[in-house]
Amino acid sequence: MLMDEAMDREIVVSRTIDGPRNLVFAAHSEVRHLSQWFGPTGFTTTTHSFEFRTGGIWDYTMHGPDGIDYPNHVEYLEISPPDRIVMHHGSRKDDPDAFISTVTFEERASGCQVTLRSVFKTKEQRDHAVGRYHAVEGAEQTLFRLDAYVERLRRTS
């Protein structure tokens, strides 16, 4: 599939994080870090199982500020430290609406550029995630929280 073929089915959000790539990658690869920053503003995350390896599973629940719980099931398809993580992401195992999410980490003079790219099966599925779940704003807020967390780590180390 050509990249252009997926454009109407994808969400891409990027931010330069003020920290070294290895630290930013570590914040994605250890549950003790993920629980501190992962999710949009006002959300918390409870991890039920976490195995960061190719073929490993991360089962977690995101708790919204409105009291709604959002179950999530991630299978890690590719892990290439410290460059890239590829995941199959749904609300549960065998979720027919699961999508592929790729996180890339690029060293920059000003820090580490993190790019989140989610590719859905259909344009309608992407539009639903954007409209109902505010996926673009949520991804932007998640990267903002990651940046603040990495800054805290750098100050305390």
Structure confidence by residue, pLDDT tens digits, 100-118: 999 999 999 999 999 999 9
Give the separation between CA 85 and CA 29, rounded to whole angstroms.
Answer: 9
Domain count, the chain: 1
Domain around 152? 3-156
Q: What pTM value is reported for the model?
A: 0.94
For residue range 117-150, what is the model confidence (pLDDT) as tens digits? 999 999 999 999 999 999 999 999 999 999 999 9
> Has residue 25 got a pLDDT over 80?
yes
CATH number at residue 17: 3.30.530.20
Q: Which of 69, 24, 68, 52 is nearest to 60 (CA)?
A: 69
Contact 75, 52 (CB under 8 A): no
For residue range 43-100, what is the model confidence (pLDDT) as tens digits? 999 999 999 999 999 999 999 999 999 999 999 999 999 999 999 999 999 999 999 9
